[in-house]
């Protein structure tokens, strides 16, 4: 009920019992800093009165969606008065055919983040252990703490996962181990041999989550192909991938998980109903139909332009880390907040890595050639103090 007074409606008085309820939230939340995404383009345009802003902060695909995807979205938009297919039947069948896995081995989520959160919700009790690397994707720690887990952070060794140290950290209380491959933010990866050795020694009581958000950019060479791992009965393995990166559908939020059927069944019990909207389902199905051309162009762009980044950093004498993803971690050895702001005022959004505990570092993703040239020029000015 609204209370009306001269001048318009005001909020009703807060009841005492409401205040009591507000005190009963999970106290672990006091220790959690919310995840802060990269600044949106529109915000930077407003803040600095800029007409053109380029975003190289969130590892997005600069090519934009394919024409097939846009056509599929327009067609699906005519039916948005209806709830989406909660089981993603058509998309499930398309992805099943693409990957040659059973539809029973697939779960879809509102981004692969939701699959990660669901795994923790389903498998972790308060006080259980979750093992992650440091640095790595921030959501692992945030979501684990929300479930009142004991989070063990294992420092990376020379900016690579130290799987031997992570293995030693496993105890009977360990329920989940996260391996981002490639890692975000370092761009480093775990080799096929390293991963197999870890899995054989990890034990049957641990759910191993292989986060392969950047799989399409990383595959090849000694990067592991993991689909056969979900067939194992003696190990619990969940693979997460996404349509946000290489497929260019970040704004529609769609990811998926691959696992044994019994693991998928458990995850479905904690999955929100209608969690994948109808536009995302239609777009992803079209993206799979178009991936021979579009995906190839996306990967080739990243591989070619990444070499230009390496050359630029080397010419400036700046330390960087070769990446198997579509972004690069850079040690400016300066105040990264000042570098970030300098670039921001010139319409270039990158990521200051202070939140990861990486002071002096920034992360920049690969953009279009003309966008990258803008970054090179402004970054050189920032580094040289111009």
- Hey, is 327 helix, strand or coil? strand
- Hey, is 132 helix, strand or coil? strand
With beta carbons less than 8 A apart as the criterion, state whether 283 and 69 touch: yes
**pLDDT by position in tens, the chain (length 386):** 444 444 444 445 545 555 555 667 787 788 777 777 777 888 888 888 888 999 999 999 999 899 999 999 999 999 999 999 999 999 999 999 999 999 999 999 999 999 999 999 999 999 999 999 999 999 999 999 999 999 999 999 999 999 999 999 999 999 999 999 999 999 999 999 999 999 999 989 999 999 999 999 999 999 999 999 999 999 999 999 999 999 999 999 999 999 999 999 999 999 999 999 999 999 999 999 887 789 999 999 999 999 999 999 999 999 999 999 999 999 999 999 999 999 999 999 999 999 899 999 999 999 999 999 999 999 999 998 75
The Cα 246–Cα 134 span in angstroms is 25
Structure tokens at 193: 């041999």
- Hey, is 108 helix, strand or coil? strand
pLDDT for the residue numbered 345: 94
Q: From the centroid of its chain, how far is CA 253?
A: 10
Structure tokens at 42: 């529109």
Per-domain residue ranges of the chain: 30-55+294-383, 67-289
Q: Which residue has the tokens 């349509």?
A: 243
The Cα 205–Cα 330 span in angstroms is 37
Residue 207 β-bridge partners: 176, 236
The Cα 274–Cα 193 span in angstroms is 39
Q: Which residue has the tokens 């490639």?
A: 182
CATH fold of 67-289: 3.40.640
Sequence-ordered list of residues with C-beta below 8 angstroms from that of 25, at least 6 positions apart, any chain: none
- pTM value is 0.91
With beta carbons less than 8 A apart as the criterion, state whether 58 and 41 touch: no
pLDDT for the residue numbered 290: 81
The CATH number for 30-55+294-383, chosen from 3.40.47.10, 3.30.70.20, 3.40.50.300, 3.90.1150.10, is: 3.90.1150.10
pLDDT for the residue numbered 39: 77
Name the nearest CA neighbour of 61 among 351, 280, 366: 366
Please list the alpha-helical segments (H only) found in the chain.
16-22, 41-48, 67-76, 89-99, 112-123, 138-146, 163-169, 192-202, 215-218, 261-270, 278-289, 294-316, 336-345, 369-383
């Amino acid at each position: 009920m609204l209370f009306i007074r001269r001048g318009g409606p005001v909020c009703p008085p807060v009841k005492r019992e409401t205040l009591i309820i507000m005190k009963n939230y999970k106290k672990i939340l006091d220790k959690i800093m919310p995840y802060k995404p990269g600044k949106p383009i529109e915000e930077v345009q407003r803040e600095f009165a800029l007409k053109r802003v380029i975003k190289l902060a969130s590892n997005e695909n600069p090519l934009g969606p394919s024409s097939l995807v846009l056509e599929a979205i327009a067609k699906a938009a005519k039916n948005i008065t209806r709830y989406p297919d909660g089981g993603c039947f058509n998309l499930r069948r398309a992805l099943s055919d693409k990957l040659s896995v059973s539809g029973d081995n697939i779960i879809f989520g509102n981004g692969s983040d939701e699959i990660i959160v669901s795994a923790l919700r389903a498998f972790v009790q308060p006080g259980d252990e979750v093992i992650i690397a440091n640095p790595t994707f921030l959501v692992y720690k945030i979501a684990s703490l929300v479930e009142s887990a004991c989070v063990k952070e294992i420092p990376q060794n020379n900016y690579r996962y130290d799987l031997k140290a992570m293995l030693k950290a496993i105890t009977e209380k360990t329920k989940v181990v996260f391996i981002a491959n490639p890692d975000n933010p370092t761009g480093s990866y775990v080799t096929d041999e390293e991963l197999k050795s870890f899995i054989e020694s990890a034990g049957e009581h641990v759910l191993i989550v292989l986060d392969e958000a950047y799989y399409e950019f990383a595959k090849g060479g000694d990067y592991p192909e993991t689909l056969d791992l979900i067939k194992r009965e003696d190990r619990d393995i969940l693979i997460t991938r996404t349509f946000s990166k290489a497929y260019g559908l970040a704004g529609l939020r769609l990811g998926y998980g691959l696992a044994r059927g019994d693991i998928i069944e458990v995850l479905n019990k904690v999955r929100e109903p209608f969690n994948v909207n109808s536009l995302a389902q239609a777009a992803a199905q079209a993206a799979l139909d178009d991936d021979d051309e579009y995906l190839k162009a996306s990967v080739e762009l990243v591989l070619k332009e990444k070499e230009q980044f390496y050359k630029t950093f080397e010419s400036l004498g700046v330390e960087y880390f070769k990446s198997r993803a579509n972004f690069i971690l850079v040690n400016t050895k300066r105040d990264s907040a000042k570098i970030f702001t300098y670039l921001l005022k010139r319409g270039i959004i990158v990521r200051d890595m202070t939140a990861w505990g990486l002071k002096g570092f920034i992360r920049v993703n690969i953009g279009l050639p003309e966008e990258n040239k803008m970054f090179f020029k402004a970054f050189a000015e920032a580094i040289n103090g111009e």
